[in-house]
Amino acid sequence: MFGHVWAWAGKKRTSNKNIGVDKCQIDAEMKCLTDDLSFWIEHGWEPIEISARIHHRLVKIHPFNNGNGRWARFIVNLFHKQEVGSFISFPEDDLLVSTEIRQRYIRALKAANHLDYKPLIEFHREFLGPASI
């Protein structure tokens, strides 16, 4: 997943950034997310909405120095594979450079900051593969 990148890839960040929660809140926010995930599953929320919320929260928590979006999309796909046997074929190449798709993706994440998950749900749905289970 990390390819030939920095030695610190995959290690929790130890400094604050202009995005993400305070470095001291990363563990607590991850625990809140796992608790919320349990609630969403137990109460029968739609997997596509759950995936959008997981995606947003992981990006918002921003636990790593770099690669948070890629990691969040990876985790979303683990969730989809486990829950419905499908995956989201995110347009990774378009998300790495300034494209209309990246701009729409960023707008969807920003809308989720204001509890409007619809654009991110639509983004997930657009690239959702067929279920295999």
**Both tokens assigned to 88:** 């989201």
For residue 120, what is the domain's CATH number? Answer: 1.10.3290.10
Q: What does the pLDDT look like over 60-71, one tens digit per residue?
A: 999 999 889 999
Question: Rg (Cα) of the chain, in Å, rounded?
Answer: 15
Assess if residue 3 is contained within a domain. no
* Full domain range(s) for residue 29: 23-126
3-state helix vs strand vs coil in the chain, percent to 5: 60, 5, 35
pLDDT for the residue numbered 132: 65
Q: Is residue 59 in a domain?
A: yes
pLDDT tens, position by position, 27-58: 999 999 999 999 999 999 999 999 999 999 99
What share of the chain in percent tops pLDDT 90? 86
Would residue 15 count as lying in a domain? no
Cβ atoms 5, 64 nearer than 8 A: no
Number of domains the chain contains: 1
The model carries a pTM of: 0.91
Within a domain: 5: no
Report yes or no on 4 lying in a domain.
no
